[in-house]
Amino acid sequence: MSFTQFAHSRKSWGALLGFVVLFEACALTFQYLFDYQPCIMCVYQRAALLGIGLAAVIGSIRPAHWLWRSIAWLVWLIAATWGTQIAHELVQLQTNPSPFHVCSFTPEFWLPLDQWMPWLLQPTGSCTDELWQFAGLTMAQWTRVMFAGFTIAAVVFSKACLTWKK
């Protein structure tokens, strides 16, 4: 199976959705098992992951159809880029804390997602809390790596996703 054929299959979009589910499960595990409360930036990153998951679902509907694949790819790229930006901002907040910056506890979504899914998208923590590290990186730094990976993958898949033919 060529790279283009893979991008035109449900397997590729299913793999993308699998990564989203894995990372959302990690976030919920840290929140509910280890009691690490998510800050507003964490909530926005979770929403960006949901956007990537939405892209995977859209791509899975008709992966061989150019229009569906293109829409899915565009949603994926936008959500991954936004997630990378939010993760970078959180790393900057934690690296250079300022007494003049206070995190909000009220997310600003286009839809009331925090009311529909408070268990996932309700911020209850502080942006400057660094509660966990692995291999010398904080959780915020790992999420920046994760979203950068999603963004790079979207760019790598761009040609294969946007081709007209199989």
Choosing from 39, 69, 144, 161, the catalytic residue is: 39
Choosing from 10, 69, 127, 144, the catalytic residue is: 127
Choosing from 10, 69, 103, 161, the catalytic residue is: 103
Choosing from 42, 69, 144, 161, the catalytic residue is: 42
Choosing from 46, 69, 144, 161, the catalytic residue is: 46
Would residue 103 show up in a list of annotated catalytic residues for this protein? yes
DSSP the chain: --HHHHHTSHHHHHHHHHHHHHHHHHHHHHHHTS-----HHHHHHHHHHHHHHHHHHHHHHSTTSHHHHHHHHHHHHHHHHHHHHHHHHHHHHHHS--TT----SS---SS-HHHH-HHHH---S-TT----EETTEEHHHHHHHHHHHHHHHHHHHHHHHH-S--
Would residue 10 show up in a list of annotated catalytic residues for this protein? no
Would residue 127 show up in a list of annotated catalytic residues for this protein? yes
Residues with active-site annotation: 39, 42, 46, 103, 127
